[in-house]
Amino acid sequence: MELQNCINYLLTTAQHEVFQTFSAGLTQFNITPGQYGVLSCLWQNGSCTPKEIAQILRLENSTISGVLDRMQKRGLIDRVVDPNDRRSVRVVPTEEGSSLKDDVLRLIDELNAEILSGFTAEQRSTLLSCLQQISKLDTQV
């Protein structure tokens, strides 16, 4: 099989292009695509354990720990003791992290539209469905 027809190659190069587009766009908020993922989890859930965030984002616990460290130093999140289980830590967005929500979500919508602009509505739907199937995701995007 030629490299240009290999699904791994195609997904890797497509992901690289999308990552570069999102990275460039998110620089105005001084966050990375990975940090956006964490903030999105928190915006949707209010608070999460580091393990929950890692599971949602499909990252290793050790990877998410470094991301959370950088975000806490930047003032985007705090780690607080879970009032229901003092052995557990929950991650919450700070006021600064919460204040980014509307502008960042608007940008994410714009970036998604930009990336998918060359596709018809049917193609977009099919692409998203296929990617969800490959990712074994149960939810619709």
pLDDT per residue over 102-116, tens digit each?
A: 999 999 999 999 999
Residue 83: band (very low, low, confident or very high) from pLDDT cuts 50, 70, 90: confident
Contacts of 22 (CB under 8 A, 6+ apart): 33, 36, 108, 111
Length, in residues, of the chain: 141
Q: Answer yes or no: is pLDDT of 14 > 50.
A: yes
Residue 84 is predicted with a pLDDT of: 83
Helix (H) or strand (E) holding 34: helix 33-45
Q: Are 67 and 34 in contact (CB under 8 A)?
A: yes
Q: Mean pLDDT across the stretch 4-21?
A: 95
pTM greater than 0.85: yes
All residues at 6 or more sequence positions from 81 whose CB lies less than 8 Å from its CB, including other chains: 88, 89, 90
Indicate the pLDDT class of residue 140, thresholds 50, 70 and 90: very low
Average pLDDT estimate for 64-90: 93
Rg (CA), the chain: 17
Mean pLDDT for the chain overall: 94
The average pLDDT across 125-139 equals 87
